[in-house]
Structure 1
Amino acid sequence: MTDQVWKRDEIESPCVKICVVHPEARLCTGCLRSIDEIGAWSRMSPEDRHRIMAELPGRQSLIQKRRGGRAARLKRDL
């Protein structure tokens, strides 16, 4: 079965159906939009959506995970 909601031509979306909000950056880890942007997406003009979509690749660095956590920090400091 195809999910037709996500295939609509009139509203292009960067959604990849991985909807998890990063706790510090407050961005969706799937599409990199803010909660406000996601909520207003269907009411935005195509120009506003395109502008935001152009900004999304630059947001990836805002949600990078630390590698190793506490154990890696302790090992590094020895």
Structure 2
Amino acid sequence: MTEQTNRPVPNPCVGVCALDENDLCIACQRSGIEIAEWGVYSDEEKREVWRKIHLREQGVLKE
């Protein structure tokens, strides 16, 4: 295992929950479902959400 997979995956929440018209939080860039399901996601699923967040921030991923 790498060091990254040994550490807990941090929650991207910054304490400002407001969904836009595309159901994405304007602060953390997660979808409403990703926010609601975060607590039951595996570390692998959480890392995938982080990957999507980065793509959304770059404007690459539009949902």
* TM-score > 0.5, shorter chain as reference: yes
Counterpart mapping for 1:4-43 below 5 A = 10=8, 12-23=10-21, 25-43=22-40
Q: Root-mean-square deviation (CA), in Å?
A: 1.8
For structure 1, which runs of at least 5 residues remain unmatched after alignment? Answer: 1-8, 63-78
8 Å contact kept, 2:25–2:32:
yes
5+ residue gaps in structure 2?
A: 1-6
Would you identify which runs of 4 or more consecutive aligned residues in structure 1 move more than 3 Å? none
Cα distance in 1 between the residues matched to 2:48 and 2:15: 21
Q: Which has the higher contact order (CA 8 A, sep 6+)?
A: 2
Q: So what's the TM-score if we normalise by structure 2?
A: 0.71
**Identity value in percent:** 28
CA contact (8 A) 1:11 1:42 kept: no
CA distance in 2, matches of 1:42, 1:12: 11
How many residue pairs match? The answer is 53
Q: Given the two structures, how large is their TM-score scaled by the length of structure 1?
A: 0.59
